[in-house]
Amino acid sequence: MQTIQKLEIRQISRVFGANAALHEFTLEIDGGMFVSLLGPSGCGKSTALNCIAGLLDLSAGEIRLNGQPIHHLSPEKRGFGMVFQNYALFPHMTVTNNVRYGLETLHMPKSEQDRRIGWALDLVQLDETEFGRRYPAQLSGGQQQRLALARTIALEPGLLLLDEPLSNLDAKLRGEMRLEIKRMHQQLGLTTLYVTHDQSEAMSLSDLVVVMRKGRIEQIGTPQEIYNCPRSLYVADFMGYSNRLPVTIQSREGNEWQVQTEAGVTLRATTTFDGSNDWQPGQSVLACSRPDDLTPEQPLNRIGGIVHLVEYLGKTFETVMRLTGDESVQLLMQSAEAPTPGHDISAGIAPDRLLLFPFDPAFAGKLQRHDSPEARHA
Which residues make up the interface to other proteins (CB under 8 A)?
53-55, 74-76, 79-82, 84, 86-94, 101-102, 105-106, 135-138, 144, 151-152, 155, 161
- Eight-state DSSP code of residue 111: H
CA distance 183 to 170: 20
User: Of 74 and 187, which CB lies nearer to other proteins in the complex structure?
Assistant: 74
Q: Are residues 287 and 354 in contact, defined by beta-carbon separation less than 8 angstroms?
A: yes
Which residue number, 9 or 303, has a Cβ lying nearer to other proteins?
9
**Minimum distance between the CB of residue 16 and other proteins, rounded to whole angstroms?**
14
CB of 106 to other proteins, least distance (A): 7
Q: How far is the CB of 130 from other proteins (least distance, A)?
A: 18
Residue 75 or residue 132: which is nearer to other proteins going by CB?
A: 75
CA dist 244 → 63, 133, 213, 219, 240 (Å): 40, 56, 20, 20, 11
- DSSP-derived letter for residue 262 is T
d(CA 65, CA 77): 12
Cα angle 80, 212, 231 (rounded to 5 degrees) comes to 130
Shortest distance in whole angstroms from residue 120 CB to other proteins: 12
Smallest gap from Cβ 115 to other proteins, in A, equals 18
Cα–Cα distance, 217 to 235 (Å, whole number):
11
SS3 167: coil
Measured from the CB of residue 104, what is the shortest distance to other proteins in angstroms?
Answer: 8
C-beta of 53 vs 263, nearer to other proteins: 53
Closer CB to other proteins, 53 or 173, in the complex: 53
Q: How far is the CB of 55 from other proteins (least distance, A)?
A: 5
Pairing of the two strands 191-196 and 34-38: parallel
Output the smallest distance, CB 255 to other proteins, in A: 46
Q: Residue 191's Cα: distance from chain center in Å? A: 17
CA atoms within a 13 Å half-sphere pointing along the CA-CB vector of 125: 8
Report in angstroms the alpha-carbon separations of 362 from 58, 279, 358, 365: 33, 20, 11, 9
CB of 151 to other proteins, least distance (A): 7
> Residue 252's beta-bridge partner residues?
257
**Residue closer to other proteins (CB basis): 85 or 250:** 85
The CA distance from 249 to 283, in Å, is 5
Beta bridge partners of 302: none
Q: Is the dihedral of CA 127, 130, 132, 138 positive or negative?
A: negative
SS3 166: coil
Phi–psi pair at 328, nearest 5 degrees: -75, -15
Q: What's the min distance (Å) between Cβ of 311 and other proteins?
A: 30
Task: Give the nearer residue to other proteins in terms of CB position, either 9 or 354.
Answer: 9
- 45 vs 244, which CB is nearer to other proteins? 45
Tell me the three state secondary structure of residue 204.
Answer: helix
Side by side, the strands of the sheet bearing 191-196 are 80-83, 159-163, 191-196, 34-38, 208-213, 216-221
22 vs 155 by CB, closer to other proteins: 155
**CB of 86 or CB of 368, closer to other proteins:** 86
**What is the 8-class DSSP label of residue 340?**
P
